[in-house]
Amino acid sequence: MMKKVEKFITDNEIFKHGDSVVLGVSGGADSTCLLYVLNDLKEKLDLKLLVVHVNHGIRGEEADRDAMHVKKMCEKLNVPFRLKEVNVPSISKKTGKSEEEAGRDARYAAFFEIAKEVNADKIAVAHNLNDNSETILFNLFRGTGIKGLMGIPVKREKIVRPLLCCTRKEIEEYLKTKGIEYQNDSTNSDTEYSRNKLRLDVIPYIKKNINEKVEYNIVNAANNLSEIYEYINSQADMTYKEYVIHDIIINEAEKLPAAILSEVIRKQIYKIAGKLKDITRVHVQSVKELLKMEVSKKIELPYNLVAIKKYEGVEITQVKETENHEPVPEQMLIKENKIYSVPNMEIMPEKADFDRENIEELLYTKWFDYDKIDRLVLRTRKPGDYIAIDDNGRTKKLKEYFINEKIPREERDKVLLLADGNSIVWVLGYRISAKYKVTKDTKNIIKISYDKEKKDDTQNK
């Protein structure tokens, strides 16, 4: 395996001689292997290593055990060690992100912070071939374009992944042969995490029943797509200069091949917003359709972007949200299990024999898990509001939800909300949060109805 990794490093020009490298080491099999492999190669490649371990503040004594294990490994190998402690549950609560997402962001923030502090050239992380195949499937199932199907890049900014050529099995066999101990993270077997479901349930089923080389085939397909994307991207680069004039995607661009036009649109969005993470195929298709429409038609996009049809074509601009609005006075509905009387709202706990299996889909009457509600108020939106969009804990900023639902900008400050802090329980007339919905485990159910006909009365209180 050492030869395989060394060749992969050379072929992909991952390191230059003399590079100083921050290693993210959790203590698990992958990162432990990364530490030992790069330590064995450091003289040959002239690398200076520094290990960074991040304690997420989630697993208590188990996390402390991992930190101590990594520290002892570094002492044994005579590699400098740094411990970074972060409170991921607190970050998750403040940002509305799942703990999985908040933890990932905190790790990379720590790596970049220390890399900047010590002036490191690279940040090495331990993703392997299995991680890559799981990421590709995960993106496919969630919905993605070609770029999302290209998998985990070998290099991105300062981040490098020297083990991306190795399978999890190869890594574990390497550690076993060398007699190297590593720690097991208990959350890796928790199928509440979406990726673990893929790792523990979906891929093993495919390996057993369809093709045992599934990981290799997925990654090979991703590599083929990468080559295709590189060609499309190079063509789009040339085309962009011809079909985007003074920041307007001209009408003639409509005749471009679909794949090239999509990339031209994405490039223009990136130029204006500086990011593309929340830009989906639906958004790109909407801009394409706008090219065919009459002058003055417009659509709203994530990141406060507006695409407007002009005589020459489509202009994408970024606008500031207006804060000059009169919010609806906040009205208390529930506090410490006490229910308050509010005009236009009817709140009623359901009886124990309520049929939770056949809850009606009504626009202005919803049922909620009463035990998950701490403090419920009726109000309009505030900065920092978010809503849980699925059972895996993924959330979306309320502003982005409004954009995706095509709620006009001028109407967003009028939409009534039931909120528990910044966690939105119900966007009245639209959806409820996945966090508060009734499940088979719900013990106490509460029914809330809103009288839409008296909406003006509510908003004038």
- What are 143-199's pLDDT values in tens digits? 777 888 899 999 988 999 999 999 999 999 999 999 999 988 655 555 455 677 888
**Cα 289 to the center of its chain, rounded Å:** 28
pLDDT exceeds cutoff 50 at 268? yes
Q: Is 274 left (phi over 0), alpha (psi -120 to 50) or beta?
A: left
Two structure tokens written together for 406: 């095509």
**DSSP strand pairing (244-245 vs 248-250):** antiparallel
pLDDT exceeds cutoff 60 at 324? no
Rounded mean pLDDT, 239-263: 95
pLDDT exceeds cutoff 60 at 456? no
pLDDT band at 404 (very low <50, low <70, confident <90, very high): confident
Q: Structural domains in the chain?
A: 2-190 (3.40.50.620), 246-318 (3.30.465.60), 331-459 (no CATH)
pTM exceeding 0.75: no
**DSSP strand pairing (20-24 vs 122-124):** parallel
Task: Give kind and range of the element (H or E) at residue 243.
Answer: helix 214-243
> Could you tell me which residue, 146 or 98, shows the higher pLDDT?
146
CA atoms within 13 A on the CB side of 84: 23
R_g over Cα of the chain:
26
